[in-house]
Amino acid sequence: MPETLQQKLDLVQQRIHHACARANRNPGEVRLLAVTKIFPAEIIREAWAIGLREFGENYVQEMENKAAAVADLAGARFHLIGHLQSNKTKKASQFFQTIDSVDSVKLARRLDAEGIPLDITVEVKLSHEESKTGADAAGLVDIVEAVRTSQNLRLKGLMTVPPWSEDVELSRPYFAKLRELAARHAIQELSMGMSHDLEVAIEEGATWVRVGTALFGKRKKP
Ligand SMILES: *Cc1c(COP(=O)(O)O)cnc(C)c1O
C-alpha cells in the first residue's frame, strides 16, 4: 500500500498514464486537480511541495479559513468545485481563481459584476438526482452565452459528476455526453472523473481529473 503523499501521487499519475496510453492520448493533455476539501491547509502545503499546483475546494468559507496559510504558495491556483450560492460571489471571486461549478445565468452575472477576472467552468447535471446541482443541457446554452458576453469571465470548460456507482463503466455515458456538449459549444476543457473513475473519464476525453481520496485518503464528514 502507498503510504506517503508522494507514493499516492505516483500511483495516480501512473493510472493517468495508463489510461492515456489505452486511449492514445498524450498525458500532457490531462491535468490533475487535487481536491483538498475537509483537509487542513497543511495538506495543501505538502502537496505543493511535491509539485501540485491546482487545488479544488468545495466551500467558500473553508477556503477563506485556509487562505492565509497558503497565500505564499507561488503558482498555486484554487478551483471552487462545490455549489456556489449567488450571495457568496464576492468572497468566491476573492479566494478562487476559477469557479468550476457555475450553474446559472444569475450566478455568472453576479460573478462578472464582482469585477475580478475569473476562469469559469460550467457544471452540467446529466442525471436526475435531486441532491445534485448543475445546469441542464438546455440551460447550458444561456450560461455559455452569458459568460462569453461578460466583461470579466473566461469560459474554460464543462464539469460533471455522474451518479456514484461501484461500477465505473456506469459513468461512461455521462462523460461521453459531456464531451458532446463541449464539442457543440466549442468548449475546450472537460473536468470529469474522480478517484474511482478517472480512467473511464480519460478514455472519454477528460482534460481535468479531480482527485481527493486517492491522494489524501478518506475524508471525515464535514
Ligand atoms: C470531493 C469531490 C471530488 C473528489 O472526489 P474523490 O472521490 O475523493 O476523488 C471531485 N469532484 C467534486 C465535485 C467533489 O466534490
CA gap 199, 193 in Å, rounded = 7
State in Å: Cα 12 to ligand 1 middle.
14
State in Å: Cα 166 to ligand 1 middle.
15
**What pLDDT, in 10s, does the model give residues 56-91?**
999 999 999 999 999 999 999 999 999 999 999 999
Indicate if the pLDDT at residue 220 is higher than 90: no
Q: What is the 3-state secondary structure (H, E, C) of 87-155?
A: HHHHHHHHHCCEEEEECCHHHHHHHHHCCCCEEEEEEECCCCCCCCCCECHHHHHHHHHHHHCCCCEEE
**52 close to 74: Cβ distance less than 8 angstroms:** no
Residue 128 CB: number of other CB atoms within 10 A?
Answer: 8
In one-letter notation, the amino acid at residue 97 is Q
Percent residues over pLDDT 90 in the chain: 94
The pLDDT of residue 150:
98
User: Ligand 1 pocket, 83 CB below 6 A?
Assistant: no
Tell me how long the chain is: 222
Which among 9, 35, 127, 220 is the best mutation to test ligand 1's pocket, defined by most ligand atoms within 8 Å of the CB? 35
Indicate if the pLDDT at residue 196 is higher than 90: yes
Percent residues over pLDDT 70 in the chain: 100
The pLDDT of residue 222:
63
Among the CATH numbers 3.50.50.60, 1.10.3720.10, 3.20.20.10, 3.30.1300.10, which is that of 5-214? 3.20.20.10
Query: What rounded mean pLDDT belongs to the chain?
Result: 97
User: Ligand 1 pocket, 182 CB below 6 A?
Assistant: no
Q: Which residues contact 81 (CB under 8 A, 6 or more apart)?
A: 33, 35, 37, 56, 57, 58, 100, 101, 159, 191, 210
Nearest Cα residue to atom 10 of ligand 1? 210
State in Å: Cα 149 to ligand 1 middle.
30
What's 71's DSSP letter? T
Burial (CB count <10 Å: 0-12, 13-18, 19+), residue 34: buried
**What pLDDT, in 10s, does the model give residues 37-47?**
999 999 999 99
Indicate if the pLDDT at residue 142 is higher than 70: yes
Beta-carbon-side half-sphere exposure of residue 56 (alpha carbons within 13 Å): 24
CA gap 169, 42 in Å, rounded = 35
State in Å: Cα 162 to ligand 1 middle.
11
**177 close to 201: Cβ distance less than 8 angstroms:** no
List the chain domain ranges. 5-214
State in Å: Cα 108 to ligand 1 middle.
23
- Cα distances (angstroms) measured from residue 109 to each of 99, 115, 123, 135: 13, 10, 15, 15
User: Ligand 1 pocket, 7 CB below 6 A?
Assistant: no
3-class SS of residue 176: helix
State in Å: Cα 93 to ligand 1 middle.
21
User: Ligand 1 pocket, 194 CB below 6 A?
Assistant: yes
User: Ligand 1 pocket, 212 CB below 6 A?
Assistant: yes
